[in-house]
Homo-oligomer: A and B are copies of this chain.
Amino acid sequence: MRHGGDLAAAEAAFGRPAKGWLDLSTGVNPHAYPLKPFSATALTRLPDPEHVKQLLVTARRAYGWKPDVPVVAGPGAQAMIQLLPYLRVRGSVLVIGPTYGEHAYLWARAGHQVREAWSLSHAEESQVVVLVNPDNPSGRTTEPDVLLKLAADLAKRDGLLVVDESFADVSVETSMAERVGPKGLVVLRSLGKFYGLAGLRLGFAAGDAEMISELSGELGPWPVSGPALEAGRAALADDAWAVSTRLQLTVEAMRLDAILTDAGFEQVRGCDLFRTVRHPAAGTLHRQLARAGVWCRAFDDRPDQLRFGLPPDDEGFERLKAELSSALKTAA
């Protein structure tokens, strides 16, 4: 599987489960931000550029970006990940990974020389460094101060640091936030994970003035839909929801930890939106779980890993626990 969330493909391979799918294949918050119905004009009118400006003001405040830092909105952080490789002269790119596969794939597709490594120690040999923070699926975090220094080093030689903060909402201290400046650094954020609005397609890029200006040009006049505009303005302004949801996700991630540890997994890593485990029979486990209607994330290039998103409710937690126990017995 190349990505999570592909239930129709799961159903084609494993049939429709009697109890329906328990989809844990993404790192999307199962308790999505509670949206009001969209206004009729959100669907019918061309998104107004003035409303986009207001969305960017709200995003700056929510993500801790300074008021003068360039920001652009688009249809998902993925849209930025698609475009960034074309905005740089072909050169050497270091992707800190293995990580979310689209980064290395798209930089290579655009003709860059891509190297994947787990350490930042050879960053100075690259013109572009890409890092997901917290990382997906490992959950590893990198200190903002380390990244700030790296960005400054890269900026000195016209390099670029890309920090994908798609999961940083549940790890606030990890975010570059107010450290984002207008040169050498691009930070990506998304409404898809923490806000649980993956279908909405809304993401942001902030930082390097030249890159943001070019991204804006490539995205064109109406990249953000009316529904995404309305939802984004409401969700990003709601600090109380964000605070209480962070607490809730922390508690639920601990509950997921307990289930995975009790099941016998030894290395349980991740962030509060998913946990990743290693198991020599991960492929067999993935199939066993799928046959029981539990759809987790397997990785073609890392056959010993599985990633589990948070179950949406008690029933989901209990079902995961039971099915994991059965699957592990069979795989043993």
Contact = CB atoms under 8 A, between A and B. Distances in A.
A219 interface: yes
Q: How many copies does the complex hold?
A: 2
A20 interface: no
A9 B35 CA distance: 27
Contacts of A8: 48-51
Nearest to A312: B44
B46 A198 contact: yes
A86 interface: yes
Contact of A49 (B9, B26, B46, B50): B9
Given A200-B225, A221-B102, A9 B47 contact: no
A171 to B, nearest CB: 21
Interface string A89-123: 00000000000001000100100000000000000
A219 to B, nearest CB: 7
Contact of A78 (B79, B217, B222): B222
A280 interface: no
A65 to B, nearest CB: 23
A207 interface: no
15 contacts: A3-B46, A8-B49, A9-B49, A9-B50, A28-B45, A32-B43, A35-B43, A37-B37, A38-B38, A41-B199, A43-B200, A44-B197, A82-B219, A102-B221, A201-B222
Given A7-B48, A199-B226, A201-B223, 18 more contacts: A2-B221, A4-B46, A5-B46, A6-B46, A6-B49, A23-B45, A37-B37, A44-B199, A46-B199, A47-B201, A76-B222, A78-B221, A79-B220, A86-B86, A102-B220, A102-B221, A109-B217, A200-B227
